Structure 1
């Protein structure tokens, strides 16, 4: 199980294996799509593609973890309900690899289950060429970690629009969000609860102050899974007593959520 305090977002760099002054080894650049895969109720498997856009061979480890939220933190646990195959991949420059995400257990009707696909790039043990001046060369080796959310659905529930399926968008599952301002140890937080059937992905969150839009968090604020409560610290000087302007699950329109709703 991963430490609860760690958070991974899609295509995020998490670790530096070595940090020594000197020559840096080039890392491969891995393109991942789709960035929001799902397992629909009638699907036993889904596809994730990895493409090496770099100049070096990419050696990757692929793992799928159960994802939950508790104590305002992300929780990741080992599981066998969804299997990623192959679990390791060696991708040459310019090539791509299909990872098959296969479910081994059905999701109960009307429920969404969340997972995180963690893709670790394993650095190669390539030698470092000696510099022309004959001095010892030190190398900087980076490990890239990518994290992709995966949501699986039981019968009667769906959330992601799919142009190949003829279904009314009004029947899509929706998050049901409420928030309040809380103070902890002298700091203000936005505390968001989701009592809906599906997750909420929150971006472009801001408050109005003096006629100006003040961001709460730049870019992606985070996720709130069904039944979970998450917190984000409010920057100093931002009162957080006005409606929160936020984009939910990539919607074209920003929603306005009043506090204590």
Structure 2
């Protein structure tokens, strides 16, 4: 299995902060790659690497949730169709750990199944003070949470092009997107619907009208899973077209906006 030459930090989805007052401590700096793992129809397993770039031991819990979208929001459910092993990793500074993502159930032919790999950092206990046992220095401890998308494919559908493998180019999945402008409680929104067989990852989105452009986001706008509709606030109701990069493509895609 080929991996990128350089690890790329995963998106930090959120963090929990323990109550404290003095210095702030980030126990480790975790790099995760690849940031877009897939399980193609001819693969029973895939690899995810975790590397500790910090100066303290990293204790990590790895869970895989089924990912769906409804009511314009992401939804997660427990599942056992894809399992991450080991589920708990202890990684010393400068070391890395392989997480094996194993599929235990096949995906229906021609379909994509979405998952989210949630990696939680388990903070180490605060050190006891020299003043006495049982007491700890006042500090803020960060519990980092990393979220990585995972897509699994059924026979006849591929998620990524790979010139080294014999795969039918016609099987590469493509999203089919439509968009509209709506107003909710007096505020403008953009809705994007995906009628395609695979997800759409929207980045660098803007509203355009003729030669003029109004940026919406500089980086990731969000995902639209197959059959789903997602909604994002817009700074203005101006514009006739939603322009965005879809699934990292070099060229921007223009999606006409309806009312």
Report the counterpart of residue 56 of structure 1 in structure 2.
56
Return closer, same or farther for 1:110/1:240 CA change in 2, 3 Å cut-off: farther
Give distance in 1, aligned partners of 2:154 and 2:172: 13
When normalised by structure 1's length, the TM-score is 0.89
Q: CA deviation at 1:129?
A: 5.6
Q: Are the counterparts in 2 of residues 65 and 115 from structure 1 also a CA contact under 8 Å? A: yes
SS for the counterpart of 2:83 is strand
- Distance in 2 (CA, whole Å) between partners of 1:19 and 1:151 is 36
User: How far apart are the structure 2 equivalents of 1:20 and 1:211?
Assistant: 52
Q: Which residue of 2 aligns with 1:124?
A: 124
Measure how far apart 1:137 and its partner are.
4.3
Task: Name 1:245's counterpart in structure 2.
Answer: 243
- TM-score (normalised: structure 2): 0.89
Write the distance in 1 (CA, Å) between the matches of 2:229 and 2:72. 6
List alignment gaps of at least 5 residues for structure 2: 1-9
The Cα RMSD (Å) is 2.0
CA-to-partner distance for each residue in 1:149-178, whole Å, 9 max, x for gaps?
A: 000000000121224324454541100000
Alpha-carbon separation, structure 2, partners of 1:96 and 1:84: 16
Give 1:151-166 correspondences, 5 Å limit. Answer: 151-166=151-166
Equivalent in the alignment of 2:255:
257
Asked if the contact 2:110–2:155 (Cα under 8 Å) also holds between the matched residues in 1, the reply is yes
1 CA distance for matches of 2:65 and 2:89?
Answer: 18
Give the conservation status (yes or no) of the 8 Å contact 2:209–2:239. no
Give the unaligned 5+ runs of structure 1.
1-9
Where is the strand percentage greater, Structure 1 or Structure 2? 2
Q: CA deviation at 1:205?
A: 0.3
Contact 1:130 1:137 in 2 (8 A): no
What is the CA–CA distance in structure 1 between the aligned matches of 2:171 and 2:115, rounded to whole Å?
23
* Residue 110 of structure 1: how far off its partner (Å): 0.2
Secondary structure, counterpart of 1:193 in structure 2: strand
Residues matched between the structures, number: 246
Residue 71 of structure 1 is matched in structure 2 by 71
